[in-house]
Amino acid sequence: MIVLAGPSGAGKSRLAERIGLPVLRLDDFYRSAGDPELPRITSGANAGLVDWDDPASWLPDDALAAVAELCRAGTATVPIYDIAHDGRCGSQTLDLGGQDLFVAEGIFAQEIVPACREAGLVAAAYCVRQHPVVTFWRRLTRDLREHRKPPLVLVRRGLALLRDQRRVVEHAVELGCEPVTPDQALTEVRRLTSGSRR
């Protein structure tokens, strides 16, 4: 797989579409609202709300199982997650259609890179990044458009994520992702897919 990690709003989903390979959307492996294991924000204006930016709000074992099944069989049943309602709303079959490579993208994608590398499942791993202000604005306009949360919550969350972006990128690099802009990632992936075809 080709991993696209990086901060929320950095352009991972748009980049995945530009690449044109089958896409495993790792954000569909979030826990559903009501799960007792969901972490909570402990301080600040959003204290008490679910911390959807904490990896503990995500199910890495389910994501790993889907990646392994896709690499082994070329197809896997994956969840459909409705972020606006904080829960799964069904499942679907992801079929690689004979492709040798696929993209796995999401804000917690870096968390599975070490285990997937050890299993020989990673072709490349990137942390997509842009200027923090650009990421903040893109994330906010997207989340408002999709009615993901009340506007005030989105603004407060966005400002917190803006301040935290450097740490997020550094963490992804520590776990084996190469920091790149979307255009740099696209160039690298095109080289990779060209070599795969050959």
Q: What tokens were used for 191?
A: 């080289």
Lowest-pLDDT choice from 39-48, 73-82, 90-99, 180-189: 39-48
Mean pLDDT for the stretch of residues 135-143: 81
Which of residues 146 and 195 earns the better pLDDT score?
A: 146
What does the pLDDT look like over 79-115, one tens digit per residue? 999 877 888 888 999 999 999 999 999 999 999 999 9
CATH T-level fold of 2-192 = Rossmann fold (3.40.50)
CA 120 to chain centre: 20
For the chain, the domains span 2-192
The pLDDT-based confidence of 196 (bands split at 50, 70, 90) is low
Distance CA 125, CA 185 (A): 9
Q: Report the amino acid identity of residue 104.
A: A
pTM of the model: 0.84
CA distances from 1 to 36, 104, 126, 158 (A): 31, 7, 11, 29
Does the structure show a pLDDT above 80 at 147? no
